[in-house]
Chains A and B, each alone.
Chain A
């Protein structure tokens, strides 16, 4: 079956974006500006004090944030476990993680709209005043802002630190940099877990101030990791279509991308099922209301789309070794999962806003385009003139020669 493996040579491999970078930067910026300009125009026209715009913005903010958080997890856990195979794609992960800097900037409009967007701040909620009063020590705007400053200090701080260290190693080749990153990865993941947990409460769970679920943080995390691995696959294929990293990342690495997508699709489903089943079974009114809203007025169909589209179908599709090793199928599944991840967040956010109408709002898509444009532009900006490969990582040779047994 497997031919004796030949070590891929990096001779003549194009390792920087060069002329591709500016094209993405300009194209993405234009898309971002146009998307948001249209969204703002429509949003202002709604005459709802920008509330609809804020919700669509929130949905897409949560989406792109989750992708970069997934990337930060990928980078940090790779260091923690001293992984070898992922060295070839680690730089892509680092760059996606550094987009947390962009997300920190993109958080500012959300913070400005927070008093309209979050029901506990706007008062547009059925939650009893007594309950809101009970939660006030946590759910109040000043503390909310402070928390987001802390979250982004942790996320962007670590993302930039890992990326800078890694880029510095391209020049110095010093293995101590690897050791330093490894020794700090543990603490970074601890802070990551705590901050992502609370960020998910703030951003998504608090949209229904009466509802609570202790598994919600892991659920958002798992969804983000699935999304990131799909994005990583797409970015890899995109770079390769531009003639970059064509030999450094090969079928053995695709296979691992596929396995990770498969594993996290399953893990996501496990968490989703645990949350659903436990609430369904105990049938306590203050918990089931959240699920009930997602089963009535047509939202149930979107739930079914998730059961099949976010779990059963990609699970079956990625089960075989064959589909994980074939570029075409892997590409399709990565794209599919990224779409499903968006629908998943749509299902989390929008029933709180439009419980009677599961249909798409044009603002949802325009905000998506806006975010996507800026996200891509920023990615090319960080990738910049640096190598797309951690060229002098001590494990690079092993990662290049890597082969699935």
Chain B
């Protein structure tokens, strides 16, 4: 911002320049520590949220009520209210479980893996993504729990001594799920809460009412920003990130084991673990984007969740989407190469059998749609990206549908083939789970700091002390106005 120049004005909110000689600005709009605190905290402090919030809350709360009504109906009647029957014993419940667990991977990826990779842009989106992870895992956990049939004995899943003196079977991948998802839920919650404590202290110190002061006072554990505390806190955060990174790989790998340990054609293939993990990240980032694009607009956070952040997310979506496409291709090739007729039939059946419609929805949404992100114009256009996120969300649900249902409906014995269709209860339960998810997101936005204030402050230039080295990577500064980079000659 030094010398005046005559170049045409550039959008002050566009920080997506690719010029390697200039640092990328992560916080725009000339914020200082005070204004960051005010902007973010005031969203959670506003006693009168906009009417749209109430309307959205009413809608999602009704959907949640519907979810619980469906669950109650299922419990009193039995799982027969779903479309499950021979040969498809795993229907939408498992599809929805895998779908929601997958979405729950973005939060930990952003908070842990991007943290270890020193991706400092994560600071503006990690809190939101972590919250979303927890809500998605809650939604995910519901489905297998109600799928067991006799939900009142669901505690048999845990190694708790019972009157029959029977222990759970640890050699079953379904039990691995209990441990994997349980650990994931716990660690995500610890990670989210640990990251939030300094911000809860901020809300405590800004509290205008006694109730708020007490609630946030307890939640903040008495945090007072002591540097001796920060020292251990940062170490703990780093180690939690180090623990969460393999954990995030393991969770969806274990979910993939549910399928892959079986001998069923289309399920048993060794690439499933990494392929499921890539798919989970892919779907999770798309869901984060689906929520962030409107949220940054409605809550005036465009200066924190900048186009640069969104562009980076879109690149990750492109990369993971390509990995998913790569896995589809490898599976198809090996199905032929392996020379097992049942296996090759399973894949031909997917693409051209009775569920071909689902298969091609999956391919177009998951493999073709993200390819548009090769274009920088698409990557930085919020409307275009939002539409692509929706495609990916749909595609990833259908991926799980294709895997689960096509293989079960037509396995080795043609005499026991069938065609599976969901019932209205299946559909309403799934719709209801979206209600629960969005309701929790709305509550989170309403009451808790949506951005990690303390972390965002560390990527602002004023946070860096001269005489000390500058943390590497992006850092904040005034926006650099540059001419558009010349197109390379080819």
Chain A residues with a Cβ under 8 A of chain B:
4-5, 7, 81-82, 84-85, 131, 134-135, 138, 175-176, 178-180, 182-183, 186, 190, 193-194, 197, 201, 210, 212-218, 266, 270-271, 274-275, 277-279, 281-282, 284, 286, 394-395, 398-399, 401-403, 405
Whether A282 and B472, one on each chain, are in contact in the complex, defined by CB atoms closer than 8 angstroms, is no
Q: Closest 10 CB pairs between A and B?
A: A214-B271, A5-B469, A215-B270, A281-B261, A274-B273, A212-B338, A394-B20, A178-B20, A394-B21, A215-B271
What is the CA–CA distance of A403 and B118 in the complex, to the nearest angstrom?
11
Whether B326 and A275, one on each chain, are in contact in the complex, defined by CB atoms closer than 8 angstroms, is no
Write out the residue numbers on chain B whose beta carbons fall within 8 Å of the beta carbon of A182.
Answer: 18, 20
Q: A214-B330, A278-B257 are in contact. Are A84 and B473 (CB under 8 A)?
A: yes
What is the CA–CA distance of A398 and B253 in the complex, to the nearest angstrom?
37
Considering the complex, give the chain A residue whose CB is closest to the CB of B487: A176
Asked if B5 lies at the interface with its beta carbon under 8 angstroms from chain A, I say no
Smallest beta-carbon distance A125→chain B, Å: 14
Asked if B58 lies at the interface with its beta carbon under 8 angstroms from chain A, I say no
Write out the residue numbers on chain A whose beta carbons fall within 8 Å of the beta carbon of B469.
Answer: 4-5, 7, 401, 403
Interface residues of chain A: helix, strand, loop or mixed (majority): helix
Considering the complex, give the chain B residue whose CB is closest to the CB of A269: B246
Write out the residue numbers on chain A whose beta carbons fall within 8 Å of the beta carbon of B486.
Answer: 176
Interface residues of chain B: helix, strand, loop or mixed (majority): loop
Write out the residue numbers on chain A whose beta carbons fall within 8 Å of the beta carbon of B472.
Answer: 84-85, 398-399, 401-403
Asked if B488 lies at the interface with its beta carbon under 8 angstroms from chain A, I say yes
Whether B20 and A179, one on each chain, are in contact in the complex, defined by CB atoms closer than 8 angstroms, is yes
Considering the complex, give the chain A residue whose CB is closest to the CB of B274: A218
What is the CA–CA distance of A277 and B176 in the complex, to the nearest angstrom?
13
Please encode chain B, from 327 to 353, with 1 for each CB lying within 8 Å of some chain A CB and 0 for all others: 101110010011110000000000000
Option from A138, A275, A282, A394 in Cβ contact (under 8 Å) with B268: A282
Whether A274 and B262, one on each chain, are in contact in the complex, defined by CB atoms closer than 8 angstroms, is no
What is the CA–CA distance of A394 and B246 in the complex, to the nearest angstrom?
34
Whether A175 and B270, one on each chain, are in contact in the complex, defined by CB atoms closer than 8 angstroms, is no
Write out the residue numbers on chain A whose beta carbons fall within 8 Å of the beta carbon of B253.
Answer: 270, 274
Write out the residue numbers on chain B whose beta carbons fall within 8 Å of the beta carbon of A213.
Answer: 270, 334
Whether A212 and B18, one on each chain, are in contact in the complex, defined by CB atoms closer than 8 angstroms, is no
14 residue pairs of the A-B complex, CB under 8 angstroms, read: A4-B467, A131-B339, A212-B334, A214-B271, A214-B272, A214-B331, A214-B334, A218-B271, A274-B253, A277-B257, A278-B260, A278-B261, A398-B472, A401-B470
Whether B330 and A270, one on each chain, are in contact in the complex, defined by CB atoms closer than 8 angstroms, is no
Whether B326 and A194, one on each chain, are in contact in the complex, defined by CB atoms closer than 8 angstroms, is yes
What is the CA–CA distance of A284 and B412 in the complex, to the nearest angstrom?
14
Whether A270 and B20, one on each chain, are in contact in the complex, defined by CB atoms closer than 8 angstroms, is no
What is the CA–CA distance of A201 and B272 in the complex, to the nearest angstrom?
17
What is the CA–CA distance of A401 and B21 in the complex, to the nearest angstrom?
16
Whether B249 and A270, one on each chain, are in contact in the complex, defined by CB atoms closer than 8 angstroms, is yes
Smallest beta-carbon distance A233→chain B, Å: 19
Report which residue of A281, A395, A401 has the largest number of chain B beta carbons within 10 angstroms of its beta carbon. A281
What is the CA–CA distance of A201 and B334 in the complex, to the nearest angstrom?
10
Write out the residue numbers on chain B whose beta carbons fall within 8 Å of the beta carbon of A138.
Answer: 337
What is the CA–CA distance of A266 and B261 in the complex, to the nearest angstrom?
22
What is the CA–CA distance of A81 and B322 in the complex, to the nearest angstrom?
16
Write out the residue numbers on chain A whose beta carbons fall within 8 Å of the beta carbon of B330.
Answer: 197, 214, 217
What is the CA–CA distance of A282 and B486 in the complex, to the nearest angstrom?
56
Write out the residue numbers on chain B whose beta carbons fall within 8 Å of the beta carbon of A275.
Answer: 270
Report which residue of B257, B268, B338 has the largest number of chain A beta carbons within 10 angstroms of its beta carbon. B338
Smallest beta-carbon distance B465→chain A, Å: 9
Whether A135 and B337, one on each chain, are in contact in the complex, defined by CB atoms closer than 8 angstroms, is yes
Write out the residue numbers on chain B whose beta carbons fall within 8 Å of the beta carbon of A271.
Answer: 273-274
Write out the residue numbers on chain B whose beta carbons fall within 8 Å of the beta carbon of A277.
Answer: 257, 261
What is the CA–CA distance of A402 and B118 in the complex, to the nearest angstrom?
12
Considering the complex, give the chain A residue whose CB is closest to the CB of B261: A281
Which residues of B in the span 248-273 have a Cβ within 8 Å of any Cβ on A? 249, 253, 257, 260-263, 268-273
Asked if B485 lies at the interface with its beta carbon under 8 angstroms from chain A, I say yes
Please encode chain B, from 48 to 87, with 1 for each CB lying within 8 Å of some chain A CB and 0 for all others: 0000000000000000000000000000000000000000
Asked if B471 lies at the interface with its beta carbon under 8 angstroms from chain A, I say yes
What is the CA–CA distance of A179 and B374 in the complex, to the nearest angstrom?
15
